[in-house]
Amino acid sequence: MTSVAAARTPARQGSTAYGAVADRLRREIAAGEYPEGVPLPTEADLGEEHGVSRQTVRRAFQDLVAEGLVYRIPGRGTFVADAQGKYIRSSGSIEELMSLSEDTDLDVLSPPSIGIHIEAAGRLHLDADTVITMRFRRLHMDRPYCVTSAYLPVAVGRGLIDVPEFRTPGVRRNMTVLSVVQRVIGRPISGADQTITAVAANAEIAELLECQPGDPIMRIDRLYFDQNNELLELAVNHFNPARYTYRFQMRAHDS
């Protein structure tokens, strides 16, 4: 059974006609509306439904093919690609990271609390070693694919301690920590510096991600900042690559 999430491209496609069609199809694919082997609606049908030309629908399909969400067979139609149960996501903006709540669940492992973490404090450029820390994982279709340890300056993250949804471990929520952080601090998160490495799963991470100790997993560290380049959060994410594929499109400056 194919399980493909709503992968999105870095460009804000929703502002274009073909982008709106592509976004609609991504959501429907994520919801499982097109089973494996069943063709998607034709260009003509989608054009009539959305009030756009077949060329516009064709451009939307081209983007989905490039993202690996669908494949096309001349004379037969367009089909959802076999992702082998993986959660596929292309993220090129903070808004797209916040949209994880559309198709995944948050499972709090450790509620927000004040503690000492020398490495995180250093990476956040703090004068003291005290930070707000919390741990959670994300699940897609009830299967965990990511474990995250989040660290925030006390002045930024103190308000998370009072968020009711974060107080009880094991209760799944349809929300993202980033959206709550943004609401608590009262200003937008403008961007993030990201590093991606491959590491071996330790016993604890392996249990949480339902893989074997020593298995290769993907680690993505993100340092979030506001419009003044003030560091707001360090998120250390571990992904089970058997359940998650991360895609990122690069474009030329003049495209």
Q: Which domain holds residue 39?
A: 13-80
| pLDDT of 75 | 77
Q: Per-residue pLDDT tens for 50-69?
A: 999 999 999 999 888 877 77
- pLDDT at residue 85, rounded to an integer: 60
In this structure, are 172 and 63 located in the same domain? no
Residues 147, 109: Cα–Cα separation, whole Å: 9
Whether residue 116 lies inside any domain: the answer is yes
**pLDDT at position 86:** 67
Please report whether residue 85 resides in a domain.
no
Asked if residue 236 lies in contact with residue 217, where contact means CB atoms within 8 angstroms, the answer is no
Say what the pLDDT of residue 96 is.
78
**Residue 15, pLDDT score:** 57
Same domain assignment for residues 68 and 99:
no
Note whether residue 3 is domain-resident. no
- Kindly tell me the number of DSSP H helices and DSSP E strands found in the chain: 8, 11
Residues 133, 240: one domain?
A: yes
Say which CATH number the domain at 97 has. Answer: 3.40.1410.10
Whichever domain contains 71, its CATH number is 1.10.10.10
61 & 114 share domain: no
Q: What is the mean pLDDT of residues 246-253?
A: 68
Is 254 part of any domain? no
pLDDT at 249: 62
Same domain, 58 and 123: no
| Residue 69, domain member (yes or no) | yes
pTM: 0.69
SS3 173: strand
Q: How many domains would you assign to the chain?
A: 2
How far apart CA 220 and CA 217 sit, in angstroms, is 10
Q: What are the pLDDT digits (tens) for 203-220?
A: 999 999 999 999 999 999
Q: Please indicate, yes or no, if residue 86 is contained in any of the structural domains.
A: no
Half-sphere exposure of 4 (CA within 13 A, CB side): 25
174 and 116 in a common domain:
yes
Confidence check: pLDDT of 106 > 80 = yes
**Confidence label for 227 from pLDDT (cuts 50, 70 and 90):** very high
Q: Are 78 and 70 in contact (CB under 8 A)?
A: yes
Which pLDDT score, from 0 to 100, does residue 14 have?
42
Half-sphere exposure of 151 toward its Cβ, with a 13 Å CA cutoff? 21
Neighbours of 149 (CB within 10 A): 18
Is the domain of 99 the same as that of 170? yes
Mean pLDDT throughout 175-190? 92
Does residue 1 fall inside a structural domain?
Answer: no
Q: Nearest Cα to 10, choosing from 101, 91, 95?
A: 91
Q: What is the overall mean pLDDT for the chain?
A: 86
- pLDDT at res. 250: 67
CA 56 to chain centre: 27
